[in-house]
Structure 1
Amino acid sequence: MSYSQTYTNSEAQADSKAQPSVQDSEGNSYRTVKIGDQIWLAENLRSTKFQDGSAINTAFIPDDDENKLLTYGRLYNWHDVVDERNICPEGWRVATDADWQTLEKTIGMADADLNKEGWRGDNDLAITLKEAQPDSWFKKFDQSKVNQSRFSARPAGVKWGRFYLTQGIYTEFWTSTGATDKKAYNRTLVYPWWNPHKGEINRVKISKDYMFSVRCIKI
């Protein structure tokens, strides 16, 4: 089953976590979801404009393919993520590192792991954020846990300079939390059969010039 098919099926499911949809400044509509006490976009941001209508510098569609826009959203560098004009819909903001830690705790991450860097989380908690996680030769997953949160993460990949990489392999989400002059915190989920970290969530400091997916959280 393709990710677009999974999206169609999951969208049709009745779910108490679902919240009213929201629109950005261009009229793009997004599903939203309540996870614990937080309300998140349940799709990656697709906007090319800030709240004031000015153009976002980055906003790359995977493979420059408009057919992939609804599936994967757009990719942004960190400088656009933290621009005061705000790339999220009105009443929303880009999730911080602390917001992600709250989400991780809600889905079951141990307190001792929240501030660690690298791959974190036990009991395959990352798959509760993923729209799909196929079994592999080496590991079978409890499919009833896949996308339990209805966060619906998809492997959109990453852009670095002229290079677009890892579609179908990784999804990388920016946080709005800087770490150093040149790096900020992000989150990574991994999907392929050969990677042993499919059930974990990666928290690292990484160059602000990469282009990653963005999820907004309600203010």
Structure 2
Amino acid sequence: MLHTNLSLADSLYEEMHDPEMSIQDSEGNLYRTVKIGAQTWLADNLRTTRYQDGSLIRTAFIPEDDPDNLLPYGRLYDWHDVSDERNLCPVGWRVASDEDWKTLEHTLGIAEKDIESTGWRGDDDIAITLKAAQPDSLLRSFDQARINLTGFSARPAGVKWKGWYITQGAYTEFWTRTEATPAKAFARTLAYSWWNTHKGEIRRATLGKDGMFSVRCVKE
């Protein structure tokens, strides 16, 4: 059973300073939370520039270096910072692992035979239940009643890759803290662009550790 303990309306961002509704990180940023199955997740992308011990994070870029993007999209981090033992999540939280994401995907309904697969996975447009919005297009229409059904509120922040900001509005990539090879780690992708045929699916992939992606934390 999917459950959200918060309204999905964007107007809730204006109420994030209510301590009864939010979690605070080491530099005072506040985040909404959402319960999905047995897990509790942050319902916003991480925005901190400091680890739990107060030390500065080396990456932590705002998409397009535009301050107006900080609240809706959070910051972008490379995997080396994401996996650092100093932990960039709030106290009592951790960067979601590949296993945490698989648990979430199982809750959403991805078939057991597909959980360990890489590539785009999931039937019945399950990915739209994680997205803050997914407009219809000439190629696809969606059951708008299922948009953001989980309250996860994912937004297409894009990435920073080799010094360039790309794919904002079209994709979001979430790092996991799980290493795949010495050069790559596991990540999750959601697609938003009108021409992409995988907008209803979640991609599990191994990507280069120097890419700067969004981060979600899960409660320990």
Aligned CA distance change for structure 1 residues 90 and 179 (closer, same or farther; 3 Å) = same
User: Which of 7, 10, 15 is 1:8 aligned to?
Assistant: 10
In structure 2, C-alpha distance between the alignment counterparts of 1:149 and 1:205, rounded to whole Å: 25
**Superposition deviation, residue 162 in structure 1:** 1.2
Q: Does 1:206 align with 2:207?
A: yes
Pairing 1:1-219 to 2, within 5 Å after superposition: 7-9=9-11, 20-219=21-220
Q: Report the Cα distance in structure 2 between the residues aligned to 1:157 and 1:108, rounded to whole angstroms.
A: 26
1:210 is aligned with what amino acid?
G
State the distance in 2 between where 1:10 and 1:146 align. 17
**For the residues of structure 2 that align with 1:36 and 1:67, how far apart are their CA atoms?**
32
Q: Deviations over 1:106-158 (max 9, x none)?
A: 01111111000000000000000000000010111000111000000000000
User: Cα RMSD over matched residues?
Assistant: 1.4
- Runs of 4 or more, structure 1, over 3 Å off, are 9-12
Q: What is the Cα deviation at residue 7 of structure 1?
A: 4.9
Aligned residue number for residue 3 of structure 2 = none
Q: Deviations over 1:32-58 (max 9, x none)?
A: 000000000000000000000000000
Q: Aligned partners of 2:54, 2:12: CA distance in 1, in Å?
A: 32
C-alpha separation in 2, matches of 1:171 and 1:45: 13
> Secondary structure at 1:33's aligned position in 2?
strand
**TM-score for the superposition, normalised by structure 2:** 0.92
- Residue identity (%): 64
Structure 1 pair 43–62 and aligned structure 2 pair: CA distance change class (3 A)? same
Shift of 1:20: 3.9
Amino acid at match of 1:53: G
Structure 1: distance between partners of 2:23 and 2:142: 32
- Segments of structure 2 that go 5 or more residues without pairing to the other structure are 1-7, 15-19
Secondary structure, aligned partner of 1:40: strand
| Equivalent-residue separation in structure 2 for 1:11 and 1:106 (angstroms) | 26
Counterparts of 1:158 and 1:86 in 2: how far apart (Å)? 21
CA deviation profile, 1:176-199 (whole Å, cap 9, x unmatched): 000000000000000011000000
